[in-house]
Structure 1
Amino acid sequence: MQTASPAGFIQDHRPLLWATALGSFLPPFLGSSLNVALPVIGRELQATAFELGLIVNAFLIAAAGMLVPLGRWADACGRARVFTWGLLGQALCSAAAIFTRSVPALLLVRAAQGVAAAATFATAVALVAQVAPAGQKGKLLGANTAAVYLGLTLGPPTGGLLTQHLGWRSVFGASALLALGGWALARPWGREKSPREGVAQPASLWLFAAGVSLVLGGLAMTRVQGRFAALAALGAIAVVLSFRGSSNLPLEPALFRNTAFTFSNLAALIHYAATFSVSLFLALYLQVVGGLSPKATGFLLLAQPLLMALLSPVAGSVSDRWEPRWVASAGMALTAGGLLVLSSAQLRVSLFQVISGLALLGIGFALFSSPNTHAVMGQAPTKLLSAASATLALMRLTGQAGSLVLASFFLPASSLDTQAGKLLVPGMQANLWVASLLCLVGMVFSLARGNVHG
């Protein structure tokens, strides 16, 4: 495989598309596997429900902070090169997680893993959009989104089986092997050259990265001590200062002059903020309150991601013909319905209620994500594809981290016992009510984006 020239790079695109699919598959696979393993991790490491939320959020906070600098770096030194480095970094971090013996150590490894994952988040969709033949961009973006949902689909049952039979560390072992496989597949593209190689990244990018991380991290820790809110305020100031000046801004201003691009990103931010904590709550609810095993929990949680994986390519193809705003907005409405169904959960677990709510969420997610991604990437010129991809990923990760920040105020700050289970249910109910309202707000931006097809 030759990648020295753009023509060769595009001509030999199929192996690279497989590599980007694996890169998109890996983080949700590990994340959804880890959610099922959290109660077991909590018991072994003596962690509270709040601390388990931090183990998930450390990854998201670090990834959100590093997305923009790595997206710009990818434009400067080569998207495929940064992508392959990200896969290798994830493999090394997953291997390191196997040997952790405390919550602080696991938090540190998860944060490092988030930095590595940011490299693939910032480049995978841009690489797909770059090599997609005319008229097939929506289909290929839908297929890449399906890889994300396939990871979400296989993660819960795989994580449940591995945790129950081999222990929670085997989840990280499987992730390390998958990341190494993706790195080996993408490695020939790692020699890609860029005419901008060696261009220094402006300080404003790193100020923005630090600001985003401080905002999310400070808010996440405010539940423990109110003074952490000062860190969030300091981070907000850093974000504002990073936009001073007229050049080298953290986010590309030209992209945000497009209403469809701006509102599509806002819709994504809100949608993920409303929904990401659901899997965390349900993993704890089913095992701590319902008494289910990790394996049973993993298979039960299949309902949502399975529908997402099956319907996402269809939704992507539909968005090639119909306006994405109508398809995506219908998806957000179904998501709100699923959240309302789950918000009425009680101490006596109803499996029918859980599966029904997850099914609505799965259909809603599929209808929203692929058309919304199509709307975002379709508005970006080729030279700004990495910047557009990083912006969309930033909205996704910031929304996900924000969802867990919201959840942190409802998660019990006690060990995982019967008393924690009694506190978990009302907190989950309140969280999901707020989340359903957020979805309705997101629908406003989704509908207001306007048409994107000529």
Structure 2
Amino acid sequence: MQKVQKAVIFAAVITSFITTFMGSALNLSVPDMSGEFNVSAGAIGWVVTVYMLIAAAFAVPFGRIADITSRKLVLALGIAVFGAASFFSVFARGLISVVIGRGAQGFGASMIFATNHAILISKFSENERGRVLGYATASTYVGLAAGPVLGGFLNYNFGWRSIFIAGCAVSAVVLVSVIFGIPSKNRDVASEAGEAESKAADGKKKNFDITGNVFFIMALLALVYGLTDIMRNSFAPYIACAGLLLFAVFVFRELRTKSPVIDVRIFKESPAYTLANLAALLGYGAVYAVSYLLSIYLQTVLGYNSQTAGLILIASPAVMAVLSPLAGRLSDRILPFFLAAAGMAVTALSLLIFVFVSEDTHILVIIGALLLSGAGAALFSSPNTNAVMSCVSQESLGVASSVLATMRSLGHTVSMTIITIIVSIYIGDKTLKDAEPQMLITVMHTAFIVFTALALIGALCSMKKPKKKG
């Protein structure tokens, strides 16, 4: 393995870890922040929401910038912004400062999401991509698993600011590796065909469509905010609809511009690409809120404390971390579309088990379903990424990676929106912790029926094979 390839793997693995670790670790610190700043639960929720909004809205624009300039430059800038925002947040003395810091982290994360997988894929041949994607995916799940454990330790012993210190330190290390270990040019060092394609692309005039990017950012901000706040703000549904209308304007414009932000024609010309992205949206929509629901169920219904509940929930990401590299290797040998479909089918089965939980369900059943869910997610994630990337050219890897990241973010938003709507129907203004156990179980049953359906549709979408070239 070449020195450059090692540096690229290191950068992809560490950035995949730190972006997910920060989110899962800070979730445990939200109550402490709320108490320190004396703010409501709704207000402190912006610590999570602002990151998701900014990261989702700017990923695709930065993907386009990376494709026409230098992916290394955008990645390095993203890591620097993420680290600087972490440093800023250490000294926050109020909620507004933390929200600004988290928003800046989301801005940096959007650059990271736009480039870390794109650079990783561009430096390896097609028959190695699944393997290295498996490493990055495994790191993502290690971050999710380590967040509650390591984040809880840091928060308990040193306070929530120590989590931002950790984020700053890790960012500094990986930034040095990117600056000195990765070349600046967007070319495939492992493939002559990729190098030739990159040279051909360099000869073309490339422009940055400012108007198109503005439409995209406004559309995504409106849609994600509208969905996130849909049951708390009477104007939220209209804001979400405005986001959809802006998306329609964006697509109409992109079809008529010579340098589109996203070449939307590929969604029509390559059904496999379209359905693989749709499968990502549905898949992440089906699983993202599972840990949220189960954490409440384990504590409110089964009576476990928060620490024990957290340890139980680690079962799923731990399995994902172990199996993701294997799934990545398999996707180099088996058509990744079918492998992703199998993973989503396994995920659907695990979600179906949760439909039948009750106050008397044995904890081993819950753990078994979590392990099954982790195995399904591992089989889906890196093969799905491999499937999406196999449908685009070398010069479009940044945008393709950004679109996929946006699908994941929208999936997360859809998942929590489903929970919000179901909770408002059955429980009203009460919090989940204040709800009667039987009512909470009813909420879970309804939610998991919807999530199972999403996963099954995602499995069907994943089965579409691309047309053979030539």
Whether TM exceeds 0.5 here: the answer is yes
Q: Cα gap change, 1:95/1:351 in structure 2, threshold over 3 Å: closer, same or farther?
A: farther
Asked if structure 2 preserves the Cα contact closer than 8 Å seen for 1:27 and 1:117, the reply is: yes
5+ residue gaps, structure 2, are 187-201
- Match for residue 438 of structure 1? 454
SS at match of 1:247: coil
CA deviation string 1:106-127 (max 9, x = no partner): 4443333222101010101110
CA deviation string 1:245-268 (max 9, x = no partner): 233333223532222211111111
Asked if structure 2 preserves the Cα contact closer than 8 Å seen for 1:90 and 1:117, the reply is: yes
Provide the C-alpha distance between the structure 1 equivalents of 2:87 and 2:219, rounded to a whole number of angstroms.
Answer: 29
SS at match of 2:463: helix
- Match for residue 317 of structure 2? 305
CA deviation string 1:83-124 (max 9, x = no partner): 111112212222333444655554443333222101010101
Could you tell me which of 240, 253, 266 is aligned with 1:255?
Answer: 266
Provide the C-alpha distance between the structure 2 equivalents of 1:327 and 1:42, rounded to a whole number of angstroms.
Answer: 43
Q: Cα gap change, 1:302/1:416 in structure 2, threshold over 3 Å: closer, same or farther?
A: same
1:362 is displaced (CA, Å) by 0.2
1:73 is displaced (CA, Å) by 1.0
Could you tell me which of 332, 350, 362 is aligned with 2:374?
Answer: 362
Provide the C-alpha distance between the structure 1 equivalents of 2:445 and 2:321, rounded to a whole number of angstroms.
Answer: 27
1:210 is displaced (CA, Å) by 1.2
Asked if structure 2 preserves the Cα contact closer than 8 Å seen for 1:93 and 1:112, the reply is: yes
Could you tell me which of 103, 115, 127 is aligned with 2:119?
Answer: 127
Tell me which moved more, 345-354 or 320-329.
Answer: 345-354
1:414 is displaced (CA, Å) by 6.5
CA deviation string 1:265-294 (max 9, x = no partner): 111110001111122333444456555455
One-letter amino acid of the counterpart of residue 171, structure 2 = A
Asked if structure 2 preserves the Cα contact closer than 8 Å seen for 1:77 and 1:198, the reply is: no
Provide the C-alpha distance between the structure 2 equivalents of 1:336 and 1:26, rounded to a whole number of angstroms.
Answer: 28
Query: What do you get for the CA RMSD once the two structures are aligned?
Result: 3.1
1:180 is displaced (CA, Å) by 2.1
Could you tell me which of 400, 409, 427 is aligned with 2:443?
Answer: 427
Asked if structure 2 preserves the Cα contact closer than 8 Å seen for 1:332 and 1:442, the reply is: yes
**1:98-137 alignment to 2 at 5 Å?**
98-100=90-92, 105-133=97-125, 135-137=127-129
The percentage of aligned residue pairs carrying the same residue is 31
CA deviation string 1:285-321 (max 9, x = no partner): 4456555455433322221111111111111111222
SS at match of 1:122: helix
One-letter amino acid of the counterpart of residue 67, structure 2 = D
Q: Cα gap change, 1:189/1:79 in structure 2, threshold over 3 Å: closer, same or farther?
A: farther
- Match for residue 140 of structure 1? 132
Asked if structure 2 preserves the Cα contact closer than 8 Å seen for 1:73 and 1:201, the reply is: no
Provide the C-alpha distance between the structure 2 equivalents of 1:389 and 1:16, rounded to a whole number of angstroms.
Answer: 15
- Match for residue 202 of structure 1? 210
Asked if structure 1 preserves the Cα contact closer than 8 Å seen for 2:209 and 2:261, the reply is: no
Q: Cα gap change, 1:198/1:136 in structure 2, threshold over 3 Å: closer, same or farther?
A: closer
The answer on 1:226 being equivalent to 2:218 is no
- Match for residue 396 of structure 1? 408
The answer on 1:27 being equivalent to 2:27 is no
5+ residue gaps, structure 1, are 1-9
Asked if structure 1 preserves the Cα contact closer than 8 Å seen for 2:206 and 2:259, the reply is: no
One-letter amino acid of the counterpart of residue 418, structure 2 = L
SS at match of 1:225: coil
Provide the C-alpha distance between the structure 2 equivalents of 1:425 and 1:56, rounded to a whole number of angstroms.
Answer: 26
Greater relative contact order, per chain length (Cα 8 Å cut-off, separation 6+):
1
Q: Cα gap change, 1:168/1:436 in structure 2, threshold over 3 Å: closer, same or farther?
A: farther
Asked if structure 1 preserves the Cα contact closer than 8 Å seen for 2:115 and 2:398, the reply is: yes
Q: Cα gap change, 1:415/1:29 in structure 2, threshold over 3 Å: closer, same or farther?
A: farther
1:350 is displaced (CA, Å) by 4.8
